[in-house]
Amino acid sequence: MSIDAATTSELRAILGARLSFNEGDRAAHGREESYHRTLSPDMVGYPESTAEVAAIIRACARTATPVIPYGTGTSLEGHIAAVNGGLCLDTSRMNRVTEIRPADLDVTVQPGVTREALNKALAGHGLFFPVDPGADASLGGMAATRASGTTTVRYGSMRENVLNMEVVLADGRVIRTASRARKSSAGYDLTRLFVGSEGTLGVITELTLRVHGLPEAMSAAVCSFPALEQAVLCVASVIQLGVPVARAELLDEIYIDAVNRRSGLGLKTMSTILFEFHGSEGSVKHDAEEVAALARDFGAASVESATTQQDRNRLWRARHEAYYAGLALRPGSKGLVTDVCVPISSLARCIAETRADIEKTDLIAPILGHVGDGNFHVCFLLDPARADELEQAQAVNRRMVARAIEMGGTCSGEHGVGYGKAEFLAAEHGEALNVMAALKKTLDPQGIMNPGKMTDAALDLAHHVRGERPAEPAG
Amino acid sequence: MSIDAATTSELRAILGARLSFNEGDRAAHGREESYHRTLSPDMVGYPESTAEVAAIIRACARTATPVIPYGTGTSLEGHIAAVNGGLCLDTSRMNRVTEIRPADLDVTVQPGVTREALNKALAGHGLFFPVDPGADASLGGMAATRASGTTTVRYGSMRENVLNMEVVLADGRVIRTASRARKSSAGYDLTRLFVGSEGTLGVITELTLRVHGLPEAMSAAVCSFPALEQAVLCVASVIQLGVPVARAELLDEIYIDAVNRRSGLGLKTMSTILFEFHGSEGSVKHDAEEVAALARDFGAASVESATTQQDRNRLWRARHEAYYAGLALRPGSKGLVTDVCVPISSLARCIAETRADIEKTDLIAPILGHVGDGNFHVCFLLDPARADELEQAQAVNRRMVARAIEMGGTCSGEHGVGYGKAEFLAAEHGEALNVMAALKKTLDPQGIMNPGKMTDAALDLAHHVRGERPAEPAG
């Protein structure tokens, strides 16, 4: 779209030199870490305060100019693509840790603070923030996508760890979603409505988060299994027995090979579960023994423990870099990463049937997962120049999503919808999708907040299927 | 209001003899366990299926007849009062435990199943459902009020333990709010929007809930403190140090006296914390020792442990009956129970200042609380015939709520709003209250779902304050 001149000059008055029309800057803000194509915004703004964000939104609302909130651009489903152009609102300059309250185990931060920056600020207090998606994402972005990570099995996702947010609405009003109380029954749960809303309902300008005390003791166990199914069944059993593991991460033998190459870890090239245990010295030892016994029952070829912090750090760094290690298996490739999450009793079957589907293609597609939550990712390593590979991967993914939904699961455990997963929302939610669209319409009647994503995209596709109107986003 | 004859005959066609106009039945459904006055519905319906509920709602929607979902009537803030008359929709005949899935640690139930009935059904599977408000409430009602209880400090409230719900909307459409996946980023969080919505957005007709394995070991500790403040500071310290207690319940010396009288427990008549520990034999022992040491540091006069199941059962039964034990201190009295929840570092000061306020009155008002969550209840024992007592109690409560909000807390930790707490929503939520009202308007444009509660009541009061229209609900 072409941006109204009055809007531009109003934005210039608010942001001064922090409003950019530079082409490189625009392209960098229309591109994410996935296979989705770059769709650049018309301009990029770098606000420094809630008041600036509110003024920006009011200016954009007057001319229905799209606003796309932006954290670190590490989303995977086209979340930040400017499908209708407009203003990218980059929150990276709102990066202050406002207050750390050790006595309440909570912190208040601006949305541009990244999870690693927060953990650096917390370390001196003996505290940590557990939610850890692969990237060093911003906390505003993590809340907006309802991110989770390797410790969600124990500490929950952003859903459980956001206490309160300040949000600028689509008309410039500023609200607080809740208080700092650990629980409340006083009104509708606006916090959870905005967590996972992907910038489509408003801009998160401040977050109050739960933090946790560093455990007295930690240890890790590396369990290598001859067969992928054994590994998954072992984790299901650990969860069913209620062993309070802090992490239970699967890497298949392809990923193990990849991280061995990248990090020189020397792990057995087998399907592997990385467990971590948090607690007292005694409970950690007890949990580790219980898990080791279960792993042997399920046929583990080896169970090795890592109790020193150095060993554990190497292990988890390798795990966090697995996505990039995987891409390096095929230089120049782009990843299409799937994200289904199913009830844990169905997980082994879901993975096995998916693997069988993959084997019918000639794609390289390693699997890893937060299997303690029933969530796993297939990473298709695609040659961006070959449309046939993308088609094959999408076909496998579509079958996998249908399978997951049929098993009582979801198309997305943690990556979100953007426009990349919009095609699955109708099948997953049925009539509830129309309720979601009604909520969107209520809070953003002009459709200026991150347009073309989530319900916008899902209903466009639904109309397309029914032949009512074209699915292609404008711009 | 007078009910339209066509609506009545349509409801009769759906429900047959399960539609009641009996005066006793109506009064029983307009009365709850609190000091609020009885406001009877015009009729009571007892549906047995989702299809019946949907047909009922469609019939009522045609003539804008109010519908008030009803579980066990154990709410405390006028939630089920028929302020505009209409139909009380009693879900007690929808009481089937539909499916128990031990391998997924979840269950599906109809809304009329009570928490005790569910736990009876789960016991044979080695499972339990942790959320335990004082009453044997229905799970539909507990979800609707975002209930919590004594184990929320460890297992979370209804917010964390509802995975998915089936809901009949105000126009009769039936939706599912989510899947059975443990986590999802696929769309707005409708589950959390309906949890805590108090029947104002739709009728919950089915719930899928997380359940938990019975712990390998449990033990309890009874810590008696000469001063209330010592007890509260001890719990704050336990939480700050991250000891994973399963319960941390305060009863002040008046409540201890009351439960001693009722249950013959013979506890020291001092402010007391009842702790419970869940885990392995080793971790339970470790946690109990850590807490005992802390309790002594904070000046406990005694720390006694209860490791046998019989002892623990007596203790927790006494705790659950504390409300009734309190009422028995003043025969014929009605309770006005407050419910603020604050960040834990402010809890001791909040309780101390509240106690000082109480001491300026001549009311009997024992205090108990889920202090691990920062939540406590003052129970004013009121003579229903004395308006001055009610006024005094309300004045203390208003000061307490203002104090809690100023401390970053909430007017209601777990009881909800109904109409009884509506006066506090504007102060707690500010502009966000208008967002809540807009959501209500979107999902229930005619205002037929449990009218006169939550935002309806809060905005009526706000208009009243501004002199725009009367606050008194019609009917």
For residue B178, the chain A residues in CB contact (below 8 A) are 410
For residue B103, the chain A residues in CB contact (below 8 A) are 236, 240, 344-345
Chain B contact present for A415, CB below 8 A: yes
| Contact between B196 and A185 using a beta-carbon 8 Å cutoff | yes
CA distance B37 to B177: 34
| pLDDT score at B2 | 67
Q: Hey, how many other C-beta atoms are within 10 angstroms of the C-beta on B393?
A: 24
CA distance A185 to B106: 24
| pLDDT score at A464 | 57
Q: What residues have CB less than 8 Å from A287, skipping those under 6 apart?
A: A243, A244, A245, A277, A279, B280
For residue B181, the chain A residues in CB contact (below 8 A) are 341-343, 374-375, 404, 408-410, 413
For residue B341, the chain A residues in CB contact (below 8 A) are 181-184
| pLDDT score at A473 | 39
Chain A contact present for B386, CB below 8 A: no
**Which of B182, B441, B461 would best serve as a mutation to test chain A binding (most A beta carbons within 10 A)?**
B182
CA distance B171 to B58: 6
| pLDDT score at B122 | 98
Q: What residues have CB less than 8 Å from B55, skipping those under 6 apart?
A: B14, B172
| Contact between A424 and B186 using a beta-carbon 8 Å cutoff | yes
Distances (CA, A) of B357 to B336, B360, B378, B393: 16, 5, 12, 10
Question: A127, A132, A139: which is closest to A166 by C-alpha?
Answer: A139
For residue A431, the chain B residues in CB contact (below 8 A) are 173-175
Please write down the long-range contacts of A285-293, taking CB distance under 8 Å and 24 or more positions apart.
Answer: A285/A219, A286/B280, A286/B282, A286/B283, A287/A243, A287/A244, A287/A245, A287/B280, A288/A219, A288/A221, A290/A241, A290/A243, A291/A221, A291/A223, A291/A238, A291/A243, A291/A245, A292/A221, A292/A223
Query: Which chain B residue has the Cα nearest residue A189?
Result: B193
DSSP for A122-175 reads HHTTTEE-----SS--BHHHHHHTT---TTHHHH--HHHHEEEEEEEETTS-EE
pLDDT tens digits along A154-200: 999 999 999 999 999 999 999 999 999 999 999 999 999 999 999 99
Task: ipTM value, please give it.
Answer: 0.96
* Strand (E) or helix (H) holding B304: strand B302-306
What type of residue sits at position B175?
I
| pLDDT score at A33 | 77
| pLDDT score at B464 | 57
Please, are residues A220 and A318 in contact by the beta-carbon 8 Å criterion?
no
Q: What residues have CB less than 8 Å from A464, skipping those under 6 apart?
A: A470, A471
Query: Which chain B residue has the Cα nearest residue A283?
Result: B283
Residue pairs between chains A and B whose CB atoms are closer than 8 Å: 284
Please, are residues A71 and A137 in contact by the beta-carbon 8 Å criterion?
yes
| pLDDT score at B473 | 39
Say if pTM beats, i.e. exceeds, 0.80: yes
Report whether pLDDT(A472) > 60. no
Of A176, A182, A212, the CB nearest to B242: A212
The pair of three-digit structure tokens given for residue A69, joined into one six-digit string: 């909130």
Query: Which chain A residue has the Cα nearest residue B424?
Result: A186
Residue-range domains of chain B with CATH? 5-90 (3.30.43.10), 97-213 (3.30.465.10), 217-323 (3.30.70.2190), 331-421 (3.30.70.2740), 425-465 (no CATH)
| pLDDT score at B450 | 98
| pLDDT score at A1 | 53
What is the least distance, in Å, from the CA of A20 to any CA of chain B? Answer: 31
For residue B180, the chain A residues in CB contact (below 8 A) are 343, 408-409
What type of residue sits at position A269?
T
| Contact between B102 and A428 using a beta-carbon 8 Å cutoff | no
Report whether pLDDT(A474) > 80. no
Please, are residues B160 and B189 in contact by the beta-carbon 8 Å criterion?
no
For residue A417, the chain B residues in CB contact (below 8 A) are 185-187
Chain B contact present for A126, CB below 8 A: no
| Contact between A175 and B432 using a beta-carbon 8 Å cutoff | yes
| pLDDT score at B35 | 84
The percentage of residues in chain A with a pLDDT greater than 90, rounded to a whole number, is 89
| Contact between A342 and B373 using a beta-carbon 8 Å cutoff | no
Residue A195 is given by DSSP the state: T
Mean pLDDT across the stretch A254-279? 94
| pLDDT score at B474 | 36
Task: Categorize the per-residue pLDDT at A69 as very low, low, confident or very high, splitting at 50, 70 and 90.
Answer: very high
For residue A435, the chain B residues in CB contact (below 8 A) are 169, 175, 190, 443
| Contact between B239 and A105 using a beta-carbon 8 Å cutoff | yes
pLDDT tens digits along A380-422: 999 989 999 999 999 999 999 999 999 999 999 999 999 999 9
pLDDT tens digits along B365-412: 999 999 999 999 999 999 989 999 999 999 999 999 999 999 999 999
Residues of chain B with pLDDT under 50: 467-475
| Contact between B169 and A435 using a beta-carbon 8 Å cutoff | yes
For residue A440, the chain B residues in CB contact (below 8 A) are 188
What type of residue sits at position B154?
R
Report whether pLDDT(A2) > 90. no
Task: Categorize the per-residue pLDDT at A317 as very low, low, confident or very high, splitting at 50, 70 and 90.
Answer: confident
For residue A196, the chain B residues in CB contact (below 8 A) are 185, 187-189
Task: Categorize the per-residue pLDDT at A34 as very low, low, confident or very high, splitting at 50, 70 and 90.
Answer: confident
Distances (CA, A) of A367 to A222, A340, A459, B319: 17, 12, 31, 49
Chain A residues 243-262 within an 8 A CB cutoff of chain B: 244
Chain B contact present for A344, CB below 8 A: yes
| pLDDT score at A270 | 97
Chain B contact present for A425, CB below 8 A: yes
* Strand (E) or helix (H) holding B43: strand B43-45
CA distance B431 to B452: 20
**Number of residues in chain B:** 475
CA distance B291 to B271: 16
| pLDDT score at A439 | 98
Q: What sign has the CA pseudo-torsion A129, A134, A135, A139?
A: negative
What type of residue sits at position B236?
A
Mean pLDDT across the stretch A140-144? 98
What is the least distance, in Å, from the CA of A429 to any CA of chain B? Answer: 7
| pLDDT score at A37 | 87
What is the least distance, in Å, from the CA of A303 to any CA of chain B? Answer: 22
Chain B contact present for A455, CB below 8 A: yes
pLDDT tens digits along A331-388: 999 999 999 999 999 999 999 999 999 999 999 999 999 999 999 999 999 998 999 9
